[in-house]
Amino acid sequence: MASLLTPRSKRRTVYSDIPDSFALSPVNSDLTRVTDELSVKQSIKNLMLTDRGERLFQRDLGSDVKALLFENANPAGFKIIQNHIKDLLKIKEPRCNVIDVTISSMLDSNQIEITLRYSIINITQIQEFSVILDRVR
């Protein structure tokens, strides 16, 4: 019975990356890593927050969301942001299938919140990721 409840082997790590924080492992002082869902989430965040032309020699990489923040905050503008994000992830992040991109505006506080629902290949659980874009000054 116990063998049914306890996995015989650890789940195999498919995706792995360096964490944003460059944190060191307290055990061996080696660089830690983020894996699987966290790795994909981190990658999506990187892509969404990258402007086009920001990465050297890859001028098409990025969502341009920051540039679009200067457009009028109306449904048409939000639709453009949605399309940018969907197109970007479809091409540059093949590990995830985007289910939905929701954009809610918080005009009073000069913020918009982008919520992304997606699934990851080989992982059944639906993932959700939110980011709030705020004016710097």
Partner 1 sequence: MPKTPVKNLDFVSLKSDFLNFLRTQDKYADYNLEGSNMNVLLDVLSYNTFYNQYYNNMALSEMFLDSSQLRNSAISHAKELNYVPHSKKSATATVDLVVRSDQTSNFFNIPKYTRFTAKCGDRTFSFVTTESTFAGRLDDERFQKLNLVITEGRVITELKTTKDLTLKSAAVDTDSIEVAVNGEPYRFVKDIFGVGKNDKVFYVQAEPDGFYSIYFGDNQIGNQPATSDDIRVTYIISNGSAANGITSIVISDRYLNGASSIVTTLVESSVGGREHESLESIKKFAPRAYQIQERAVTRQDYAILLQQRFPKIQAISVFGGDEIDPPQYGSVVISVDVSAAQGASDAEIALYDEYLRDKTPLTIQPIFVQPKFIFIDLLADVKYNSKLTTLNPEELRVTIKNELATFAESYINGFNSLYSQSKVVKLIDNFDEAITSVDVTAVPYIEYNPILNLPDSPSFNFGNELNKPYAFVESQGFSDYKPAVYSSIFTLDGIDVTMQDDGQGNLLATTINVPTKAILKRNIGTVDYETGVVKLSNFETSEYEGNAIKIYANTKAKSFESQQDRILELKASDINLNVSPVSSIKKAAGFATIGSTTQPVYNPGSDISVAGEGE
Other CB atoms within a 10 A radius of the CB of residue 32 amount to 15
- Kindly list the distances between the CA atom of residue 4 and the CA atoms of 1, 7, 70, in Å, as whole numbers in the listed order: 5, 7, 56
Q: Which is nearer to partner 1, 16 or 104 (CB)?
A: 16
How distant is the alpha carbon of residue 112 from its chain centre? 16
Contact letters for partner 1, residues 88-107 (x by CB under 8 A): ----xxxx------------
Q: What does the angle CA 79 – CA 46 – CA 96 come to, to the nearest 5 degrees?
A: 70
To partner 1, the closest distance from the beta carbon of 137 in angstroms equals 26
Q: Are the C-beta atoms of 96 and 83 separated by less than 8 Å?
A: no
To partner 1, the closest distance from the beta carbon of 26 in angstroms equals 18
Q: Which is nearer to partner 1, 105 or 119 (CB)?
A: 119
- Interface of this chain with partner 1, residues 56 to 75, rule: CB under 8 A: 56-58, 61
Q: Are the C-beta atoms of 45 and 88 separated by less than 8 Å?
A: no
Total residues contacting partner 1 (rule CB under 8 A)? 24
Q: Which is nearer to partner 1, 32 or 105 (CB)?
A: 32
Q: Which member of 13, 25, 104, 110 binds partner 1 (CB under 8 A)?
A: 13
